[in-house]
Amino acid sequence: MSEISRLRWLCRRGMKELDLVLTGYLDHHYPNVSEGEQAQFRQLLEMQDPELYRLILGKEPEGNEELVKVLQLVRTLAQASG
């Protein structure tokens, strides 16, 4: 299984809203961002749905600029699709 296929599987969540924004980021941004940002996205995919949902809704993680950058892109996609 390729990395993108594995990540696409991990984007499948218990919440349809999360599925849409995570898959949108994977399709439109993930291939073109730095390895650091890719690692932050993979870290997001390891989180439980409630925590991830709170982050996407606006709770800012402290001290992690790359994670904030990824979250901003994910939020932008969420707003555009909503």
The pLDDT tens digits of the residues spanning 14-53 come to 888 889 899 999 999 999 999 999 999 999 999 999 988 8
| Domains of the chain and any CATH numbers | 3-81 (1.10.150.250)
Q: Which tokens go with 44? A: 């997001």
Tokens 């390895």 correspond to 35
In this prediction, residue 68 has a pLDDT band, given cuts at 50, 70 and 90, of confident
Res 32: pLDDT:
93
Is the separation of the CB atoms in 58 and 32 below 8 Å?
no
**What is the model's pTM?**
0.84
- Sign of the torsion angle spanned by Cα atoms 69, 71, 74, 80: negative
**Mean pLDDT for the chain?**
87
CB atoms within 10 A of CB 44: 21
Tell me, what amino acid is at 79? Q
Res 40: pLDDT:
92
